[in-house]
């Protein structure tokens, strides 16, 4: 039985219908929400009417858009298996991805645990006899720490966007410890930035890009650039207290077996006098739900600095690899904001995972 057959058989056994989404997708949702790294690797094109399109770089956004368009009821789970396309990828720019998106389940702890369990089950069936290593992170815990430390909103947003990208997070922390000097942007944009006039900055940048023949769909939008210029100007005036900075570094250094992580986080909160009760309560509920699925032990690790550099994750993040091999075979997490951002009329919680089939094939024992 091929790997694809094994995965499809698992979906059928769990009565999970297959999503059917086009390979050619509107580019804007990915450019707006998919994170800096993925934006650089998207294959862009245009329709006959000038609409920005792209080859499908992943399945989560297309599956969620399709769910909204069909006005499907919830809770609902979707499986998928198909080609995705990314530039600058080791192993090829065109590859197969499979996964499950779990939409609308209000018991988020149960849904989180089910998603991790589904991913582990898929890998155990595809890789019999291969030991797995599971890393758990939590965007919500990280954001709760930032808020409890009293960081300005701008800094919270910058650090949250950098979560999961080690180089971006390191650069943000360096700027937080030693705010960079204000850059000379030249006139007139520097005056517009100083006035915090985002619309005017975006309008000016759009006109300059048009003169230079740069398409806004080729990277960040003028509005996004304007927001970041103004945010950087505001952040350059902020200096974090030494004790808050040390607490943040202490938090990011936490790496524990999952079974011990809850107690470690509570001790950290108590010793640093941080109010994290709501986030820690949710963390404990999910840990209990994972334990009820038999997902615990030495192979499950909580890493406070582990995230995924995609803008839409809100809580659980996880990845699974073969023991001794750092390359992830599966990655996923919770994205409760995503469907509203894509146009859903009501909030729809979501969690899911994607598996890289070429990497799984490479990990199969002869």
Q: What is the pLDDT of residues 159-209, one digit of tens each?
A: 888 888 888 888 888 877 776 555 556 566 666 656 666 777 777 777 777
Same domain flag for 121 and 220:
no
In total, how many domains does the chain have? 2
The residue from 235, 263, 291 where one domain ends is: 235
Residue 261 is assigned to a structural domain of this protein: no
Same domain flag for 231 and 324:
no
CB 115 within 8 A of CB 352: yes
Same domain flag for 111 and 193:
no
Same domain flag for 108 and 213:
no
Residue 216 is assigned to a structural domain of this protein: yes
Whether the predicted pLDDT of 320 surpasses 90: yes
Residue 169 is assigned to a structural domain of this protein: no
> DSSP letter at 121?
H
Beta-carbon contacts of residue 329 (< 8 Å; ≥ 6 apart)? 123, 127, 320, 321, 322, 355, 356, 359, 360, 363
Same domain flag for 118 and 204:
no
**How far, CA to CA in Å, does 170 sit from each of 164, 212, 229, 341?**
11, 33, 19, 28
Residue 195 is assigned to a structural domain of this protein: yes
Q: DSSP string covering 207-270, please?
A: HHHHHHT--GGGSS-HHHHHHHHHHHHHHTT----HHHHHHHHHHHT-EEEHHHHHHHHHHHHH
**Among 28, 236, 214, which Cα is nearest to 152's?**
236
Residue 255 is assigned to a structural domain of this protein: no
Q: 85: domain CATH number?
A: 3.30.930.10
Same domain flag for 195 and 126:
no
The residue from 235, 270, 297 where one domain ends is: 235
pLDDT tens, 10-33? 999 999 999 999 999 999 998 887
Same domain flag for 107 and 31:
yes
Least confident of 167-176, 229-238, 258-267: 229-238
- Tell me the β-bridge partners of 102: 77, 351
> DSSP letter at 19?
P
Same domain flag for 121 and 14:
yes
CA distance 101 to 99: 7
Tell me which residue range forms the domain holding 203: 189-235
Whether the predicted pLDDT of 218 surpasses 90: no
pLDDT tens, 326-341? 889 999 999 999 999 9
Residue 133 is assigned to a structural domain of this protein: yes
Whether the predicted pLDDT of 233 surpasses 80: no
Least confident of 117-131, 236-250, 283-297: 236-250
The residue from 200, 217, 235 where one domain ends is: 235
Same domain flag for 130 and 42:
yes
- The average pLDDT across 299-324 equals 90
- Average pLDDT across the chain, whole number: 87
Q: Give the number of C-alpha atoms closer than 13 A to the C-alpha of residue 231, restricted to the C-beta side.
A: 17
Query: Model's pTM, two decimal places?
Result: 0.82
- The average pLDDT across 278-296 equals 92
Handedness of CA 322, 256, 281, 285 (dihedral sign): positive
The two three-digit tokens of residue 221, written as one number: 């939008």
Beta-carbon contacts of residue 5 (< 8 Å; ≥ 6 apart)? none
Same domain flag for 122 and 17:
yes
Same domain flag for 224 and 128:
no
- Tell me the β-bridge partners of 350: 103
Residue 193 is assigned to a structural domain of this protein: yes
Whether the predicted pLDDT of 274 surpasses 70: yes
**How far, CA to CA in Å, does 338 sit from each of 19, 33, 141, 349, 363?**
18, 8, 18, 8, 32
Residue 277 is assigned to a structural domain of this protein: no
Same domain flag for 11 and 130:
yes
Residue 169 has a pLDDT of 87
């Amino acid at each position: 039985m091929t790997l694809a057959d094994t995965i499809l058989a698992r979906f059928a056994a769990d009565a999970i219908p297959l999503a059917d989404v086009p390979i050619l997708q509107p580019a804007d949702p990915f450019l707006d929400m998919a994170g800096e790294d993925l934006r650089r690797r998207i294959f862009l094109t245009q329709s006959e009417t000038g609409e920005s399109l792209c080859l499908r770089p992943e399945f989560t956004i297309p599956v969620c858009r399709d769910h909204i368009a069909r006005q499907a009821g919830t809770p609902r789970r979707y499986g998928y298996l198909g080609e995705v396309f990314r530039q600058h990828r080791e192993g090829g720019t065109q590859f197969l991805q499979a996964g499950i998106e779990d939409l609308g389940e209000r018991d988020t702890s149960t849904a989180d645990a089910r998603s991790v369990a589904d991913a582990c089950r898929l890998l155990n069936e595809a890789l019999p006899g291969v030991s797995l290593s599971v890393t758990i992170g939590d965007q919500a815990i990280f954001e709760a720490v930032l808020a409890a430390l009293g960081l300005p909103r701008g800094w919270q947003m910058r650090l949250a966007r950098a979560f999961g990208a080690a180089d971006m997070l390191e650069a943000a922390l360096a700027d937080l410890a030693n705010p960079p000097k204000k850059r000379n942007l030249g006139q007139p944009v520097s005056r517009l930035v100083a006035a915090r006039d985002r619309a005017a900055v975006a309008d000016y940048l759009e006109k300059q890009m048009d003169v230079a023949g740069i398409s806004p769909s080729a990277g960040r939008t003028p509005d996004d650039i304007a927001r970041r210029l103004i945010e950087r100007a505001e952040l350059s005036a902020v200096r974090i207290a030494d004790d808050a900075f040390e607490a943040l570094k202490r938090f990011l250094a936490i790496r524990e077996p999952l079974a011990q992580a809850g107690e470690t986080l509570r001790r950290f909160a108590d010793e640093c006098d941080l109010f994290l009760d709501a986030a820690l309560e949710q963390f404990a509920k999910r840990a209990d739900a994972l334990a009820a699925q038999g997902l615990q032990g030495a192979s499950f690790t909580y890493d406070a600095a582990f995230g995924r550099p995609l803008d839409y994750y809100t809580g659980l993040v996880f990845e699974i690899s073969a023991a001794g091999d750092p390359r992830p075979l599966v990655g996923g997490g919770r994205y409760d904001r995503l469907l509203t951002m894509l146009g859903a009329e009501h909030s729809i919680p979501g969690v899911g995972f994607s598996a890289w089939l070429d990497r799984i094939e490479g990990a199969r024992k002869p």
